[in-house]
Amino acid sequence: MGFELSQEQRVIQEVIHRLAQDKIKPRAAEIDEKGEYPFDVKDMLAEHGFIGVTIPEEYGGAGLDLLTYCLIVEEVARVCASSSQVVTVQELGSLPILIGGSEELKQRYLPDLVSGKKIAAFGLTEPSAGSDVKSMKTRAELKGDHYVINGQKCFISNGGVADVYSLFAKTDKGITAYVIEKNAPGFIIGKLEKKMGIKGSPTAEIILDNCEVPVENRIGQEGEGWLIAMKTLDKTRPGIGAQALGIAQGALDVCLGYVQEREQFGRPIGSFQAIQFMLADMATQIEAARGLVYRAATMVNKLDFDKKNKEIIKMASMAKVFASDVAMKVTTDAVQIFGGYGYIQDFPVERMMRDAKITQIYEGTNQIQRIIINRSLF
């Protein structure tokens, strides 16, 4: 692999690898076909301590570094991208509380999120505010001891199953972050999206109709929401790179088995140079992505949120954009290697190809990542 892992990281990698291969892999096709959140997988991952691993120990987490988190995401995504969303979205929804929340807010929510007792979500995107986050229209007005929030969010991962939402709205002082519980007055789950991939990860519309949120549920001060959201995404992008990396590695895994069994013209197709070159390119691209993701995770782990470090932010974007592009290329080639069988659901590569596509889009499209990378060059 060319990247030195600690003994602890190697042990964790081996444990999650075996758990994913033995327990999650057999469920992957069913999770995709039914399109339902895998609560059993969530409970199992929580039981083994693989949810909220980066959260400090004082809030019930393991206090592990970002690279170790990426190793966990990679191994789960290697067999089931939908199941890896259990880990990544929990991290995405928890981080705003950790980064900007009061001590009381952290103590109140983080232990339950780490234990898996409660499920988290992250509410930023709106119909008119995707890449252009500052165009959000959702507004929050302070009325005594609570805020009244009106607006609409879309494409919210874990929408409908989450208990706790880190959600962003505009105030007179700018974008502000809040923790909103699913049973808050005026908090409504709207349309559940029918998606191309990651079908076991529900994606929903959120409607806020005079939604009442206590003042003590504000994350940070009014107007700090933009920074909290960007700091969160800076830290989660290597995780999406790891997810893409895992999907790509999983596709290569099944290809290596298939080309030794599938025969044409009297011999295994793996003996043909055309196939060998495709596999060699896939393996090379995956290894390059792995090096970039692991390096970015190591650098971002040292990110001081009080200081803007363009070099570290650049690495996070590079890891996300490169690994997701590799995942799309590798899974497309995997379908080609399987031929007609690759296009049907009896084999996992078509699912992996569908799942890979979203990694180029969410948590900042690859076009936006390239803008971030370009800005850091000058």
Pairwise CA distance, residues 318 & 372, whole Å: 9
Residue with tokens 């090096």: 291
Judge whether 30 counts as a catalytic residue: no
Beta strands in the chain (DSSP E): 120-123, 139-143, 146-157, 164-171, 174-181, 187-192, 203-214, 218-219, 263-264, 267-268
Q: What is the largest CA-CA distance in the chain?
A: 79
User: What is the three-class DSSP state of 49?
Assistant: coil
122: phi > 0 → left, psi -120 to 50 → alpha, else beta; which? beta
List Cβ<8 Å contacts ≥24 apart for 38-42: 38/82, 38/83, 38/86, 38/200, 41/80, 41/83, 41/86, 42/86, 42/116, 42/119
* Of 74, 91, 205, 363, catalytic: 363
Q: What is the dihedral of CA 263, 265, 269, 271, to 10 degrees?
A: 120
DSSP-derived secondary structure letter, 22: I
**Catalytic positions, written as ranges:** 363
